[in-house]
Structure 1
Amino acid sequence: MAEDQSHKLSAVLDQLESAAHGDSITVQEVVRKLGQKSFASLILIFTLVSTSPASAIPGLTAAVAVIVFILMLQMIAGRNCVWLPQFILRRELPTDKLCKGIGWLRKPVGFVERFLKERLTWLLHRPWLYLPQVLILGLTLFMPFMEVIPTSGSIASAVIALFAAGLLTRDGGLVALSLILLLAVPVAVWQFGFSG
């Protein structure tokens, strides 16, 4: 069972890759492929893309920040079905860059999957879940500005991806790790971008 849970990450990449066709894919097609109720899968896939070479797409970090902010608000509110505004759903991603990003992600995702298992599941429920969710909301507000600091947006996206992966695989240990990193990211970005 734990092995099946851990491989959900690769399964999400497989689903996205199978949806990629033609010259571009819309956000609406991604949502339709991953499912209207798959908050964790959607957050995972968009933040993973934002950590890959596909993050070179202009404005992608800002778009991912907006998407994650909206999805996280809905998770906190207890919604069962994903809603995104039409201007986001119509946004297109080039499939060549997207597929290149997916290919790049397979090795690190495969590595992480080896350590995932169902544990500390009490951290996946309220009230414990509120703290990382609120921190992610705050982080997404700053992500559009992180584009001026090289790699900082990708680091923020990677931390949020860890949280989503923990939810998806029911690994409370990964959620706890993401919480620690969420607290550390603002300090690290500030030191890297503005010190000295």
Structure 2
Amino acid sequence: MQLSEISDTLNELASESESVSVGHVVEKLGNRGYAPFLIVPAAIEISPIGGLPGVPTFLASIILVVASQMLIGRKHLWLPELLRKRSLTSDKVTGALSKLKPIISKLDSWFSSERLARLTQTPVTNIAAFTCMLLALTVPPLEFIPFASTAPMAAIALIGIALLVHDGWLMLAALSISMLSFSVVGLLL
């Protein structure tokens, strides 16, 4: 699977109605594992939408729920109704995706499922899930510093991409960047 497939699905959802709810995204992407649900909220936070008050914490809460289920080995993603009902306007979704489109195209061409795929399976996925949970927990206090939560969200996005494309080298890089992100968070707080 590639990132462009997720982007196309989100654009399709945005074209169908005036808003895109988390529940609709789960219904459309639910059969693709946990990776899209780490990537999408992190990518939205990295976009200009992440500068809106409350948005980073909301997105981090989605990641926290997803990563915790990934850690305990749930087969199917469950989100509470409170999160499933939350939505963004279709304009915001398509705007964020259009800004991310060049990056998505580059990332799709860079990553391969041929490299150390074993590092995208258990027990490394458990380490990745736990790391995503810790990174998501750093977001609420960082929200008071404009765009400071981009560092942990970028690390989460990279972990999600590594899981999506089964690229072990990327997983190693993402976990290393996570450690760097914890350092940045420590300095900012």
Match of 1:15 among 9, 12, 18: 9
Q: Which residue of 1 aligns with 2:69?
A: 74
**Residue 152 of structure 1 pairs with residue 130 of structure 2:** no
> Could you tell me which amino acid in structure 1 is paired with residue 80 of structure 2?
P
For residues 29 and 52 of structure 2, the distance between their equivalents in structure 1, rounded to whole angstroms, comes to 22
How many residues are treated as equivalent by the alignment? 187
Task: Label 1:63 to 1:126 Cα distance change in 2 as closer, same or farther (>3 A).
Answer: same
Contact 1:47–1:157 under 8 Å retained in 2: yes
How many Å apart are 1:65 and its aligned residue?
0.8
Percent identity, please: 28
For residues 142 and 22 of structure 1, the distance between their equivalents in structure 2, rounded to whole angstroms, comes to 33
How much is the aligned-residue C-alpha RMSD, in angstroms? 1.5
TM-score with structure 1 setting the length: 0.89
Contact 2:138–2:152 under 8 Å retained in 1: no
Structure 2: unaligned runs, 5 residues or longer? none
Q: Which residue of 1 aligns with 2:91?
A: 96
How many Å apart are 1:144 and its aligned residue?
1.3
How many Å apart are 1:55 and its aligned residue?
1.6
**Residue 50 of structure 1 pairs with residue 45 of structure 2:** yes
Structure 1: unaligned runs, 5 residues or longer? none
How many Å apart are 1:58 and its aligned residue?
3.2
For residues 24 and 14 of structure 1, the distance between their equivalents in structure 2, rounded to whole angstroms, comes to 16
User: What's the CA shift string for 1:157-196, capped at 9, x where partnerless?
Assistant: 11101110111111111111110011111212333x35xx
Contact 1:36–1:82 under 8 Å retained in 2: no
Q: Which residue of 1 aligns with 2:128?
A: 132
Match of 1:41 among 36, 55, 64: 36
How many Å apart are 1:38 and its aligned residue?
2.6
